[in-house]
Amino acid sequence: MTDSKYFTTTKKGEIFELKAELNSDKKEKKKEAVKKVIASMTVGKDVSALFPDVVNCMQTDNLELKKLVYLYLMNYAKSQPDMAIMAVNTFVKDCEDPNPLIRALAVRTMGCIRVDKITEYLCEPLRKCLKDEDPYVRKTAAVCVAKLHDINAQLVEDQGFLDTLKDLISDSNPMVVANAVAALSEIAESHPNSNLLDLNPQTINKLLTALNECTEWGQIFILDCLANYTPRDDRESQSICERVTPRLSHANSAVVLSAVKVLMKFMEMLPKDLDYYGTLLKKLAPPLVTLLSAEPELQYVALRNINLIVQRRPEILKHEMKVFFVKYNDPIYVKLEKLDIMIRLASQANIAQVLAELKEYATEVDVDFVRKAVRAIGRCAIKVEQSAERCVSTLLDLIQTKVNYVVQEAIVVIKDIFRKYPNKYESVIATLCENLDSLDEPEARAAMIWIVGEYAERIDNADELLESFLEGFHDESTQVQLQLLTAIVKLFLKKPTETQELVQQVLSLATQDSDNPDLRDRGYIYWRLLSTDPVAAKEVVLAEKPLISEETDLIEPTLLEELICHIGTLASVYHKPPSAFVEGSRGVQHKRLPGSAGSGESADSPDTGSAAGVSEAPPAVIPSQGDLLGDLLNLDLTPPTTTGPPPAPSSGMQMGAMDLLGGGLDSLMGDESEPPPVPQRTDTPQSPQLSHQSPSPPDYSPTEVGPGDHAGPLGGDLGGSPAMGAGFGAPPAAMPASFPAPVSGGLDDLFDLGGSVGMPMGAYSPPKSIWLPAMKAKGLEISGTFARRAGVIQMEMTLTNKAMSVMTDFAIQFNRNSFGLAPAGPLQVLTPVSPNQSIEVALPLSTVGPVMKMEPLTNLQVAVKNNIDVFYFSSQYPISMLFVEDGKMERQVFLATWKDIPNDNEAQFQIKDCHLSSDAASSKLQASNVFTIAKRTVEGQDMLYQSMKLTNGIWVLAELRVQAGNPNYTVSLKCRAPEVSQCVFQSYEAMLKN
């Protein structure tokens, strides 16, 4: 008789009867009663009233009855904690039972009862079981430590269980080792910085020895632990790979994927010219292929993991294309995934085979699959150039079938082929235009409109075609409306006389009759461009478009690295990092492949996925290799451990630094000697390209068009202006050792009147502004300012990660600049910057870097590198940052210097709307190292005489006139290098008005 009979009774008064049976003297009757209680509990009835009676049944030698009672206890102990304590004595007693199964059962159940009051009683029995003679008890106790740690972490640490658990890794029984590893891994996940699994070669050796004799789940625990280890060198890496490889032939697919994960990670450290590397690649293919003969659900998981593997190392499966051909009875989710991998593996060698297969798929009955197959043909054309012609003719054959959804998908992909191969296949446009009326899907309509607008000069009736779309403008989707607007503007710029009415109509519809802000903004931008500067409009709207890449859907390289480290887990199926979908307090560690940062592994072979995955920036932004900033790409980006003194400047730098400490910019005036040649950029900035020219209108953002955009990406050449470097090699003009005796009369009597004026305030620092917007730096936004604190110039930045992946390995470098500003140490970003996280960084600057005069003088061009790319921006620092603390001149020296500097070098400026008294102004300026030497009052006007000294030794003298009741000040500046006067005036204005 089966146990199903226990689930059929629904009598009233059942609890009362059960109570009597539980207290029966007959063992069989007791066992029957407990089974009935468990059955009731299983179907959701509340039998907690029987708690004391069931607990009484614990005192038995019958293992089956004991298991049932323990099951009941686990379920109700939380709701009846006080009564659960009654069972503690029995647990403790059972932990010393001669039968190892009962000892293990007792310790397992105590670990599952999540009641704080019971945990303290669990410690002693658990300690004994961890050292039990029977391995079954030890392996159960190991898992119990992890459960107890989840309830009360402090207790586990205080009782020394973690050390005992570490000792179990050296246990003679492989299952005990596996469970100890599993428990430590579980605890380490919730405490990422604890370093519990202190993996070293000796421990790894023990784990690999245990690996051969474990159960399949034990093997998975050990393999997952091995994947977290970073070998010391390629020899150790090879040794581990050799011992893990046999797991690839295991019957359990989870073991196979865990072994693949370990091998994929350790392959990163093997040299590619090693014979074993090639052998390992060959060994990895068969187990992955075997996974595809399992049931569909397992196939899908395997395919999602293979998708990642193929992006990282396509060479593993490049000869296995046929395995990914779709079977007629595959579920749709398997078909689509196979299709994706086929495209990734497509190459010149197998393209004919692939295309024949894809053409076959395009005649299937499953609409989603057919769409994807047609799109795949287009992707093959873009990926394998030699096949493009064959792909286009295949697509034209499919268009001739006149099957609506096939035609629409074909038009969408042909648009991309036009982008990839301009002026090659435009002869097919006539065929496309024949199918205009059948298009009813937004994406296909938008693609067709883009083709008509882009090739308007080749289509005689382009205006009629676009006008036909315009009739139902308000009923179209946003994507079509945006594309139609751009296409008609393109048409107008190509045929202005015939289409003036059409363009006015569409601009009016977009700006006046539309509620969509994107459409309205784009309409206004075009309207203003066309009405103010048609030439600029042509440059913007008809600018040359960058070629599209075939690997637009590749996973971003850093994310791919992390996902490879999570093969065989949910992350590899979702293609998202664990942090994106694991909620709760547990710290999720971001994993990286060893040696991949800066090693350029993936870039070595042209067919590796990650090399293609890095999106290419337009040439106007990234300088050529010979550029001054080019050598940033060779920086070692390991995170800094110590902040040492600033690096010693190279010989070239010393020249500039020495020169600046002498006469500074004064030497520009005297010596016209030829400077050393400055490497210049050969590429000129392109006209800005608005995103609305891309075929995907929704990506358009009106904020991309700004008044500064027309100046090129960085507002000027990165190399700086070579002409302005002239004279910096000149010998330093020394300051006079002593000034002549003061001349009586004139200005000298005023020095008896003033003293040092006012109390110091905080030094002026401009508010932070955005230097590098996220949209120009793949999600990295940098805002910042400059400040002078305790005599040190600082670049204070906020780095914000607006991308989906973690950012690490930051470094910074400056281009040569007017005052030799250079980082005094590495950029200290010691922790990875997670998505949507911001961190504040203060970078101390020195003034001993290489010198080259910039335009404007205080312009600073900066390159920042992280694990994703190198980004460039420029910012302007206030010259007040360079005012040093010993810039107060002696009065007599001030007088003599003022007279000594030629009057031609004097510049006068107005500072408007300033409502400070002369004393307040003096205090404010002194906080920024502008020192008042003297003050005198003439006819109600206060005159402050001030001095400041720049870091390169240039002295600037000033006379500030403040009239009571007049908000306009006059400042006269005298300097041997008049170029700095304008910058000093701007700083004066900012300091006084702040």
Q: Is 734 helix (H, G, I), strand (E, B) or coil?
A: coil
In this prediction, residue 752 carries a pLDDT of 38
Going from the C-alpha of 858 to that of each of 719, 828, 952, the distances in angstroms are 15, 24, 14
How do residues 31-62 score in pLDDT, each as one tens digit? 888 888 888 888 888 887 887 787 777 777 77
Residue pair 870/716 in contact (Cβ under 8 Å)? The answer is: no
Question: What is the rounded average pLDDT of the residues 171-185?
Answer: 88
> What is the Cα–Cα distance from 672 to 694, expressed in whole angstroms?
49
The residue among 407, 357, 406, 403 whose CA lies nearest residue 380 is 357
> How many other C-beta atoms are found inside a 10 Å radius of the C-beta of residue 757?
21
Bridge partners (DSSP) of residue 863 are: 813, 872
In this structure, the dihedral spanned by the alpha carbons of residues 549, 550, 552 and 553, taken in order and rounded to 10 degrees, is: -170
Residue burial 709-739, b: 16+ Cβ < 10 Å; e: rest: eeebbbebbbbbeeebbbbbbbeebeeeeeb
Q: What is the pLDDT of residue 764?
A: 83
Where does the pLDDT of residue 192 fall: very low under 50, low under 70, confident under 90, or very high at 90 and above? low
In whole angstroms, what is the distance from residue 690 CA to residue 775 CA? 13
Q: What is the pLDDT of residue 877?
A: 92
User: Would the pLDDT of 15 be above 80?
Assistant: no
Residues 6+ apart with CB under 8 A from 151: 114, 116, 119
Residue 799's pLDDT is: 93
Output phi, psi for 353, to 5 deg. Answer: -60, -45
Per-residue model confidence (pLDDT) at position 418 = 85
Question: What pLDDT digit, counting tens, does each position of 520-542 carry?
Answer: 999 999 988 888 888 888 888 88
Q: Which residue has the tokens 């891309």?
A: 694
> Which among 297-311, 318-332, 355-369 has the top mean pLDDT?
297-311
> Beta strands 811-814 and 780-789: pairing type?
unpaired
Cβ count within 10 A of residue 158:
10
Rounded to whole angstroms, what are the CA distances from 701 to 532, 696, 698?
A: 21, 11, 8
Starting at the earlier edge strand, list the strands of the sheet with 780-789.
769-772, 780-789, 792-801, 838-846, 822-823
265-270: average pLDDT: 86
The half-sphere exposure of 317 on its side-chain side, counting CA atoms within 13 A, is: 29
Nearest to 546 by CA among 409, 344, 758, 695: 695
Amino acid at 822: A
The proportion of the chain whose per-residue pLDDT surpasses 70, expressed as a percent, equals: 80
Q: Helix, strand, coil: what percent of the chain each, to 5?
A: 50, 10, 40
Q: Where do we find the tokens 């090129």?
A: 712
Match 């497509």 to its residue by tokens: 346
Say yes or no to pLDDT of 198 above 60.
yes
Is residue 581 predicted with pLDDT exceeding 80? yes
DSSP for 965-979 reads T---EEEEEEESSGG
The structure tokens 């119990």 sit at: 144
Amino acid letter for position 550: E
- Cα 220 from Cα 217, distance rounded (Å): 5
| Sequential DSSP letters for 505-559 | HHHHHHHHS---HHHHHHHHHHHHHHHH-HHHHHHHHTPPPPPPPTTTTSPPHHH
**CA distance linking residue 320 with residue 291, whole number of Å:** 13
Q: Report the pLDDT value the prediction gives residue 476, as an integer from 0 to 100.
A: 86
* Residue 757 pLDDT exceeds 90: no
Q: What is the pLDDT of residue 256?
A: 93
**Among candidate residues 955, 845, 823, the one with its CA nearest the CA of residue 898:** 955
Among 673-682, 788-797, 921-930, whose mean pLDDT is lowest?
A: 673-682
Render 240-290 in DSSP notation, one character per residue.
HHHHHGGGGG-SSHHHHHHHHHHHHHHHTTS-TT-HHHHHHHHHHHHHHHH
Please calculate the CA angle 972-976-978 and round it to the nearest 5 degrees: 60
Mean predicted lDDT score pLDDT of the chain: 77
Higher pLDDT: 553 or 951? It is 951
Measured on CA atoms in the order 972, 973, 974, 977, is the torsion positive or negative?
A: negative
Q: Of the candidates 581, 475, 485, 572, which has an alpha carbon nearest to the alpha carbon of residue 526?
A: 485
For residue 950, the 8-state DSSP code is B
The letter for the amino acid at 793 is I
Q: Give pLDDT, residue 7.
A: 55
Q: What order of strands is seen across the sheet that includes strand 941-949?
A: 906-911, 969-975, 955-963, 941-949, 931-938
For residue 906, what are the contacts with CB-CB under 8 A and spacing of at least 6? 972, 973, 974
User: CA 934 to CA 447: how far, in whole Å?
Assistant: 73
* pLDDT value of residue 721: 34
Distance CA 844, CA 796 (A): 9
Side chain identity at residue 420, one-letter code: K
pLDDT tens digits, 74-131: 887 777 777 777 777 777 788 888 888 888 888 888 888 777 777 777 888 888 888 8
Mean predicted confidence (pLDDT) in 299-306: 93
Nearest to 224 by CA among 597, 602, 591, 579: 591
Least confident of 198-207, 510-519, 875-884: 198-207
Task: Provide the sign of the torsion angle of the four alpha carbons 77, 78, 79, 81, taken in this order.
Answer: positive
